[in-house]
A and B are shown apart, each in its own frame.
Chain A
Amino acid sequence: MNFVGIAEEEVEEVYQRLETEAKKGGYNLNPDTEFTKNLVRGYMKNEQRYGYPSCPCRLASGKKEEDLDIICPCDYRDPDLAQFGACYCALYVSAAIKSGQQKAVPVPERRPPRTERSKNRALRTVPAAAASGPVLAYPVWRCRVCGYLCARDSPPESCPVCYAKKDRFERFM
C-alpha cells in the first residue's frame, strides 16, 4: 500500500506526532507498527486528496461538512475504545491491547448510514436552546471527539486533550 508522493520519512514524522499526541491525551496507538504506519499513510493520503485527514477505513465524500465526524480522531473513537478496545481502524487501541494482553479485533461500524447522517447533520445545526438551563457567563463548548468541556467565548483552536480542531466542537450549554 505505498502511495506515490508520500515518503517513508514523512510517514515516520506523522506517526511520531500522532504517538506523542496520543500519549499526552491518555490514548495509545496500535503497537503493530507496520499495520499502524500503513494506516498513517492512508491518513496522510486522505489529507492530501481531501484537505483533511479523514478516517482511512471509511469512504469520505470529499465535502468537509459531511465528513467532519470521520476526521481522525473520529467522533466514534472513544465509544469504540470503551466498548471494543480499539477504534474502527484499530489505529487507536486500549492499554490492554497496547501491552499485548489483548488482541485488536475488527470493530463494527458505529457511524450511521448515509441517509441517517444527513438527518443528523440537519439536527446539529439547530442552535442550543437559550431559554432552558441557568444563565451562564460564558457558553460551554464540548469536544465531540473526547468530551472535553470549556467555558469561553469560542472553542479553542484545537482540543488540549485529543487535538481535534476547533470545528469539531459543539455548543454544550
Chain B
Amino acid sequence: MGIEHVNGRKIGKVMLYALSTCGWCNKTKELLRELGIEFDYVYVDLLGDPEREETISAVERFNPKGSFPTLVIGDRKTIVGFQEKEIREALKG
C-alpha cells in the first residue's frame, strides 16, 4: 500500500502522514474527509523499504520528531498531531 488519494474540494496539495494503527491519525483522516477536501495520505507503517525510509526522512523534514499524524499543507504549513481547531482553521475556505 502506498499513497492513497481522496477526492474532494481542491485547495492545493494536502498530505497526511499517518499510521494504520493510530487513533489520532484516524481522527485526523476522518476530519479531512468531513471537511470534504482533496488530500493524499500514506500509512507509513505499511510501507516497505526503500519507500518507508524515504517517507520517514520526508516526515522528519517537516516535523523533526518524526511523529504521527503529520499533516503538510501545500509544502509550507505543518500541523503535528490531531489539532482539530488548527486543522479546521488552516483548511477552511
A35 within 8 A of B: yes
A1–B27 alpha-carbon span in the complex (Å)? 11
B44 within 8 A of A: yes
B83 in contact with A106 (CB, 8 Å): yes
Contact partners of A3 in chain B: CB under 8 A:
20
B-side interface mostly = loop
A42–B44 alpha-carbon span in the complex (Å)? 14
- Please count the residue pairs between chain A and chain B whose beta carbons lie under 8 angstroms apart in the complex: 65
B23 in contact with A58 (CB, 8 Å): no
A39 within 8 A of B: yes
A12–B68 alpha-carbon span in the complex (Å)? 26
A167 within 8 A of B: no
Contact partners of B64 in chain A: CB under 8 A:
113
Q: Which residue of B lies closest to A46 (CB)?
A: B21
A56 within 8 A of B: yes
A41–B22 alpha-carbon span in the complex (Å)? 10
Given A38-B26, A106-B24: A57 touches B65 (CB 8 Å cut-off)? no
A1 in contact with B65 (CB, 8 Å): no
Between A1, A35, A46, A106, the greatest number of chain B beta carbons within 10 A of the residue's beta carbon is seen for A106
Q: Which residue of B lies closest to A41 (CB)?
A: B21
Given A59-B56, A113-B60: A89 touches B22 (CB 8 Å cut-off)? yes
Considering only residues 45-63 of chain B, those with a C-beta below 8 Å from chain A are 45, 56, 60
B21 in contact with A45 (CB, 8 Å): yes
A59, A90, A108: the one contacting B19 at CB < 8 Å is A59
B81 in contact with A59 (CB, 8 Å): no
CB distance from B42 to the nearest CB of A (A): 12
A106–B26 alpha-carbon span in the complex (Å)? 13
CB distance from A40 to the nearest CB of B (A): 10
Q: Using CB atoms and an 8 Å cutoff, list the residues of chain A in contact with chain B.
A: 1, 3, 35, 38-39, 41-43, 45-46, 56-60, 89-91, 106, 108-109, 111, 113-114
The 13 listed contacts between A and B (C-beta, < 8 Å) are: A1-B20, A38-B23, A42-B19, A42-B20, A57-B21, A57-B25, A57-B68, A90-B24, A106-B24, A109-B65, A109-B80, A111-B65, A113-B64
Closest 5 CB pairs of A and B: A42-B21, A56-B21, A109-B67, A57-B22, A106-B81
